[in-house]
């Protein structure tokens, strides 16, 4: 049987086109009547005045699902989800689209591969660029397109004006590295379709009528805030390889609530309207774990439900409240004048790097220095209000950090304890004490803890567990505040550490968590007792002003 032929069986409830058998599903509305198409092909094959390839050509050019099922030969595509998804892509806008679909739901097959093939067949003189986070990933998509043009004879039979009969032999360019050139009239430098990377392997001096961004972020990249920021920057930069009158699509699945797809989704135009048209397709109809499954089998869905990436990859919920560990929205801003003057102030220093050299400057590790004011009483849940009064988080050499620590110490109200992280043989605490002594401030670090200098020790504890156990309860109960006088960059850094916790840097959080090591032995009064003490002091002050302190 020729590649373009079709054959009916029995009552013609089963047909075959391009070696793909097809039975329409009851109740499912397809774009075209494929049973009638098969019958028309049979009739045309028996006549000399009608070419059956013309019928197939029309379907390939106008029916995206036809390409997915009969040309790419994907059996699972005969499913309501796939049929409706293809129709949605066809009927929606062509440019500035963002398709966020659950994994294994066909987004790359339908848009990156099938629609690109269809576009090439309609516009052979155009150029298409496929972009992923690195070039090897986009070359996998290009490899699928390359294989379909090479191996699916139906495309050459129906489009001999576009598709080479022997692509590898006849095409002037046919490789994953340089791209694919189909038959065309133009003599342009860009291949008909080619693959590129955002973070490496970006094209230079090229412009594409069609751009497809697929897999621009991965789980590994999502663990690095720097890499995610780089992808966002590169995505914006890549808009310059587009072309007037061209279009682009962005396709993917969330990995993190701060990943590039969220960045793209939140883009707005000059009127504040969403820039991208979003198609959002989670694995269930309502996007919940107990919702109706739209495509996967129950067994496959249940297996994926046991994975840590289920919320992101299947429900498309990158930041479920139930899974969030430190929510920066719970941090409370406060005017500096509202921070209690009678609070106990602690200065804490989280060191960067190994401190034996300037290694911290090379690796980007940061020093975190903070002054935290603690109200000297607790409420009914045993928590004190804590105020981040001053903060500095920066990569720096040891000498630069010590200068910053001294300036902050001298500027502050009385510091009750100065805590310095002690790791290995570090003697940073001695250098800080010496620098302060030169300014008339005396801090003693004693092994028995009797001085006003305190060693902050990891003591073999897992840092993420220490941070979470120290901060989550007071944070969730509204006890953690920050002064609005602190530079916004440092507050944003702490909030960013919370958003990415525990998968990013945690210098600021570690500094803050050390506070609870320092104050664990302090016996703060209950709030009611403190209020009574405050009233007693006010009475004392009033009587003193009247010259009779003995009457208190």
* Structural contact between residues 511 and 418, judged by C-beta atoms closer than 8 angstroms: no
Residue 259 has pLDDT above 90, yes or no: no
Lowest mean pLDDT among 252-261, 294-303, 322-331, 536-545: 536-545
| Per-residue pLDDT, 552 | 33
Residue 310 has pLDDT above 70, yes or no: yes
| Per-residue pLDDT, 311 | 87
3-state secondary structure of 200: coil
* Structural contact between residues 197 and 133, judged by C-beta atoms closer than 8 angstroms: yes
| Per-residue pLDDT, 253 | 93
pLDDT tens column, 457-488: 888 889 999 999 999 999 999 999 999 999 99
More confident residue, 332 or 544: 332
More confident residue, 7 or 154: 154
What is the chain's mean pLDDT, rounded?
87
DSSP 338: G
Residue with tokens 């939140």: 266
Residue with tokens 């791209």: 179
Residue 249 has pLDDT above 60, yes or no: yes
| Per-residue pLDDT, 458 | 86
| Per-residue pLDDT, 360 | 39
- Give the residue from 102, 145, 103, 137 showing the smallest Cα distance to 120: 145
Beta strands 344-350 and 417-421 are parallel
pLDDT grade for 527, boundaries at 50, 70 and 90: very low
More confident residue, 535 or 235: 235
Question: How far apart are the C-alpha atoms of 412 and 391, rounded to whole Å?
Answer: 11
User: 226 vs 71, 147, 270, 500, CA distance in Å?
Assistant: 41, 36, 28, 11
Beta strands 128-132 and 97-101 are unpaired
Residue 362 has pLDDT above 70, yes or no: no
pLDDT tens column, 37-75: 888 888 877 776 678 888 899 999 999 999 999 999 999
| Per-residue pLDDT, 94 | 95
DSSP 342: T
Tell me the residue length of the chain.
552
pLDDT grade for 324, boundaries at 50, 70 and 90: low
The residue ranges of DSSP E strands in 91-205, in sequence order, are 97-101, 128-132, 174-175, 179-180, 193-197
| Per-residue pLDDT, 396 | 92
SS (H, E, C) 500-512: HCCCCCCHHHHHH
Kindly state the percentage of the chain with pLDDT values over 70: 88
- The pLDDT of 534-547, averaged and rounded, is 54
In this prediction the pTM is 0.67
Residue 244 has pLDDT above 60, yes or no: yes
Q: Which two tokens stand for residue 527?
A: 């709030």
Lowest mean pLDDT among 24-38, 288-302, 353-367: 353-367
195 Cβ neighbours under 8 A, 6+ residues apart: 129, 130, 132, 135, 138, 139, 141, 142, 176, 179
Question: How far apart are the C-alpha atoms of 461 and 505, rounded to whole Å?
Answer: 17
* Structural contact between residues 98 and 288, judged by C-beta atoms closer than 8 angstroms: no
| Per-residue pLDDT, 333 | 97
Lowest mean pLDDT among 106-115, 275-284, 361-370, 382-391: 361-370
pLDDT grade for 220, boundaries at 50, 70 and 90: confident
Report the b/e string of 527-546 with b at 16+ CB within 10 A: eeebeeeeeeeeeeeeeeee
DSSP 521-549: T--PEEHHHHHHHHHHHHHHHHHHHTT-G
Question: How far apart are the C-alpha atoms of 493 and 333, rounded to whole Å?
Answer: 15
């Amino acid at each position: 049987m020729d590649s373009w032929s079709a054959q009916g069986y029995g009552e013609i409830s089963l047909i075959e086109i391009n070696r793909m058998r097809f039975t329409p599903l009851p109740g499912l509305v397809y774009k075209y009547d494929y049973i009638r198409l098969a019958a028309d092909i049979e009739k045309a094959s028996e006549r000399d005045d009608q070419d059956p390839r013309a019928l197939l050509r029309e379907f390939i050019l106008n029916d995206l699902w036809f390409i997915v099922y009969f040309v790419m030969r994907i059996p699972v595509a005969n499913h309501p989800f796939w049929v409706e998804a293809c129709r949605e892509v066809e009927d929606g806008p062509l440019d500035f689209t963002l398709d966020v679909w659950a994994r294994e739901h066909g987004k790359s097959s339908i848009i990156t591969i099938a629609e690109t093939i269809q576009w090439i067949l309609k516009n052979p003189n155009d150029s298409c660029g496929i972009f992923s986070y690195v070039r090897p990933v986009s070359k996998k998509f290009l490899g699928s397109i390359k294989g379909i043009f090479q191996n699916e004879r139906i495309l050459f039979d129906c489009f001999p004006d576009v598709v080479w009969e022997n692509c590898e032999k006849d095409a002037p360019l046919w490789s994953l590295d340089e791209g694919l050139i189909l038959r065309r009239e133009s003599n342009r430098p860009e291949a008909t379709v080619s693959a590129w990377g955002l973070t490496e392997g970006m094209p230079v001096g090229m412009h594409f009528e069609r751009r497809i961004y697929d897999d621009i972020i991965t789980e590994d990249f999502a663990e690095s805030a720097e890499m995610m920021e780089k992808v966002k920057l590169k995505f914006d930069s890549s808009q310059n390889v587009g072309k007037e009158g061209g279009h682009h699509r962005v396709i993917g699945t969330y990995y993190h609530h701060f990943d590039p797809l969220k960045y793209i989704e939140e883009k707005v135009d000059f009127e504040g309207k969403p820039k991208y048209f979003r198609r959002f397709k989670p694995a269930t109809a309502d996007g919940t774990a107990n919702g109706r499954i739209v495509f996967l089998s129950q067994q496959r869905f249940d297996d994926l439900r046991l994975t840590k990436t289920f919320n992101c990859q299947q429900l498309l919920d990158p930041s479920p409240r139930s899974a969030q560990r430190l929510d920066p929205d719970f941090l409370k801003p406060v005017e500096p004048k509202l921070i209690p003057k009678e609070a106990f102030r602690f200065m804490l220093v989280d060191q960067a790097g190994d401190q034996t050299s300037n290694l911290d400057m090379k690796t980007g590790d940061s020093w975190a220095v903070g002054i935290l004011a603690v109200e000297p009483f607790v409420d009914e849940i045993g928590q004190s209000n804590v105020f981040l009064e001053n903060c500095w988080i920066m990569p720096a050499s040891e000498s630069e950090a010590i200068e910053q620590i001294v300036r902050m110490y001298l500027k502050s109200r009385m510091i009750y304890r100065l805590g310095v992280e002690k790791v290995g043989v570090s003697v940073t605490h001695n250098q800080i004490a010496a620098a302060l002594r030169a300014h008339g401030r005396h801090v003693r670090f004693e092994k028995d803890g009797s001085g006003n200098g305190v060693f902050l020790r990891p003591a073999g504890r897992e840092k993420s567990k220490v941070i979470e156990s120290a901060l989550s309860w007071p944070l969730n109960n509204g006890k953690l505040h920050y002064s609005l006088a602190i530079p916004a960059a440092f507050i944003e850094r702490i909030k960013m550490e919370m958003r990415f916790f525990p998968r990013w840097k945690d210098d600021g959080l570690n500094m803050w968590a050390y506070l609870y090591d320092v104050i664990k032995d302090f016996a703060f009064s209950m709030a009611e007792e403190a209020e009574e003490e405050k009233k007693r002091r006010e009475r004392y002050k009033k009587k003193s002003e009247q010259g009779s302190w003995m009457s208190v």
